[in-house]
Amino acid sequence: MKIAVISDVHGNLEALKTVLDDIKSRNIDKIYCLGDIITKGSHSLECVNLIRNNCDVVIRGNCDVYYINLTNLSNMSDIDIKRYNWVMGMLDDDSINYLSKLPYSYEFYMSGRLIRLVHAHPKKIDNVVCNIDYFDRYYEMFLPSDNTISNEKADVLIYGHIHIPFVQKIYNRFLINTGSVGNAMDVFRNPNKDGNDKFTAVANYLILSGNYDSKNVNDKFSFELVNVPYDIEKEISNNKDNVEFDSYCIELRRGIYRDMSIIDASFADRGINKEDI
């Protein structure tokens, strides 16, 4: 069986349609989604509908539940309120109800491996585990929590959230990030060392291949991280109502996060000096 795992669509309709077409062309059996369907792009509702109609499993992302759970806007900045009104204005009651009921995690066996899906972290939906991080933070990703279906350690943990596809092999286990369908990026940037932005500014997803529901550790198992170019300019041209249009354009065209000060602070927390990057 082949399973496509997608994540972090973020309202990017053109990227999502391109990925779904690519998945169809590969005769994939199932599609699982790790959440963050909405926000950033102008097509949150259309993306929710496409995900509902095409995915066999969908779990929640932090953005999917953040806005719909907000009850007090008094402490928010003007831009946060503007963003909230814009995002909620794109959704209808049916899509809001759908997002509010998405499960936190999902898990299954494939070729003897317990595979667990979360958006960001087993314990907290917006915890950040980077592609370069401490080993104890990597190990924690395999552990069960109150949010997981079973109390077993995962053999393969698949997540999204950081928008960077990567694989870490550690303790006989795989930690895999799918990357982002609609908002791919690389936060380790240096103008003197960077390669071509177009290698990052693509739609990303993951393909798993193996014997579904099998606990036989001798079965074959493989995975592939897929990069799919899509029409970025077409997506941008349909985003004229975007309340953060300029930032969105930079992220889509160059794969650079809109507020690198947050990233720099995260580097510092992990003992990474920005000047050494």
Domain definitions of the chain by residue range: 2-276
pTM of the model: 0.95
Is the model's pLDDT at 274 over the cut of 70? Answer: no
- Residue 269's pLDDT band, with cuts at 50, 70 and 90, is confident
Burial 9-33 (b: 16+ CB within 10 A, else e): bbbbbbbbbbbbebbeeeebebbbb
Tell me: the pLDDT tens digits for 210-223? 999 999 999 999 99
Tell me: the pLDDT tens digits for 127-166? 999 998 999 999 999 999 999 999 999 999 999 999 999 9
CATH code for 2-276? 3.60.21.10
Is 86 strand, coil or helix? helix
Return the percent helix, strand and coil in the chain, to nearest 5.
30, 20, 50
Is the model's pLDDT at 104 over the cut of 70? Answer: yes
Q: What is the pLDDT of residue 138?
A: 97
